Amino acid sequence: MSRVRRAVGAISLLLVAGCAPDTSRAPHQGAAPGYPLSVPNCGRQVVIDAPPQRAVSLNQSSTEILLSLGLADRMVGTATWTDPVRPDLEAANARVPRLALNKPSLETVLDTEPDFVSASFGGTLGPGGVADRAQFEQLGVPSYLAPSDCEGKTSVNGDGARSTPFTMAAIHTEIRDLARIFGVADRGELLVAQLRDRMGQVTAAPSGVDMAFWFSDVRAPYFAGCCGSPGVIAESVGARNVFADTTDEWPQVSWESVADRDPDVLVLADLSRRTIDGDALAAKIAFLESNPLTRALTAVRERRYIVVNGADLNPSIRTVDGAEKVARGLRELGLAPAR
């Protein structure tokens, strides 16, 4: 029986007896310099006794940050994928076991004997997800949740309303925190600098283009609101999101409201998953061009489509990918100056 599984049994016995487990931490003898380490994260203090060696990442966005930091050799599992990994990370990702395409069970995660768990969304690392953070804490497994899913949000889930718009600063914080936790702070600074340089290369001159970002679902489509990753993308290319008047990241809207706002361009997410009608690009275009209401949209009549991955529209390092693709798409459509 593994160390973590034994701890599960011990915690269960303590709870039955009416006692709470002792989760206090003592410094390791011969600890690495700078450890134990305490990192503030989403209202908690994440205490790290030593650089993690058996990390599990529960969302693609978090996984791609760890892989970008060169930490594949210290990862024992990934989960919850919507798209293929970034091409530059394919080789590193192939070395890490994939525990599940979607959310794994807690037992599956514990079977890897993790010493650290990270996630991008509270819906994965929280109530209704794999487990909440208190459960991992009781097991002596530190956990980290992306600041983009807790700071400036009125509800901790991927579609919730925001009190303040998402910015790339949240991703930079996540990168720096994870790099510090793993003892590779210099790699974190390099990755942040690379992302800033790439975003700086995206044309920021006002394009005067009205655009809408369709993530998925045909019957009650999810279109981007003001304050998530698509807001950063639209601002970076000098465009206007036609649903910028809602504070939800991904409100479900009617096709009548899309027709009323009649965007010049539709940014379409091509999701690798196939769980909802409208996940795939082909399904989106087939609907747009056959439905009597949507085929009258300016963007559809002119076939002004810009294709991105679903992961490009989540708060992550892929937000920069999305900005680059949308900027390139506007140039190819003749709606932005050629570079």
Question: Which residues make Cβ contacts (< 8 Å) with residue 125, sequence separation at least 6?
Answer: 58, 117, 118, 119, 131, 132, 133, 143, 145
Q: Kindly give the pairing relationship between strand 55-57 and strand 222-223.
A: unpaired
Contact of 123 with 61, CB cutoff 8 Å: no
pLDDT, residue 17, reads 36
Which pLDDT value is given to residue 302? 97
Assigned CATH for 205-332: 3.40.50.1980
The whole-chain average pLDDT of the chain stands at 89
Residue 56 C-alpha from the chain's centroid: 15
Average pLDDT over residues 283-296: 97
pLDDT of residue 59: 97
* Higher per-residue confidence, 89 vs 4: 89
Task: Name the CATH code of domain 33-199 (choices 3.30.2290.10, 3.10.129.10, 3.40.50.1980, 3.40.50.10710).
Answer: 3.40.50.1980
Tokens 């794994």 found at: 104
- Dihedral-angle region of residue 56 (phi above 0 means left; psi in -120 to 50 means alpha; beta otherwise): beta
Determine the 3-state secondary structure of 258 from DSSP. helix
**In this structure, what DSSP letter does residue 84 have?**
P
Report the candidate in 242, 246, 249 with the shortest Cα–Cα distance to residue 224.
249
Each residue's pLDDT tens digit, 209-222: 999 999 999 999 99
pLDDT at 157: 53
Is residue 21 within 8 A of residue 9, CB to CB? The reply is no
Burial of 102 (0-12, 13-18, 19+ CB in 10 A): exposed
State residue 269's pLDDT score. 97
Q: Per-residue pLDDT tens for 29-64?
A: 456 889 999 999 999 999 999 999 999 999 999 999
How high is the pLDDT of residue 208? 84
Residues 185/72, Cβ–Cβ less than 8 Å: no
pLDDT computed for residue 152 by the predictor: 84
- Phi and psi of 241, rounded to 5°? -80, 125
Q: Residue 234 CA to chain centroid, in angstroms?
A: 18
- Assess contact for 275 and 215: CB atoms under 8 A: no
Task: Choose between 83 and 28: higher pLDDT.
Answer: 83
Q: Residue 303: which pLDDT band, with cuts at 50, 70 and 90?
A: very high
CA distances from 62 to 171, 219, 266, 293, 334 (A): 10, 30, 27, 39, 35
> Which one has a higher pLDDT value, 180 or 205?
180
Are 311 and 61 a contacting pair, CB within 8 Å? yes
pLDDT tens sequence across 63-116: 999 999 999 999 999 999 989 999 999 999 999 999 999 999 999 999 999 999
Residues of the chain with CATH 3.40.50.1980: 33-199, 205-332
Q: What is the mean pLDDT of residues 253-260?
A: 98
Give pLDDT tens digits for 125-177: 998 999 999 999 999 999 999 999 998 887 655 567 888 999 999 999 999 99
Residue 1 has pLDDT above 60, yes or no: no
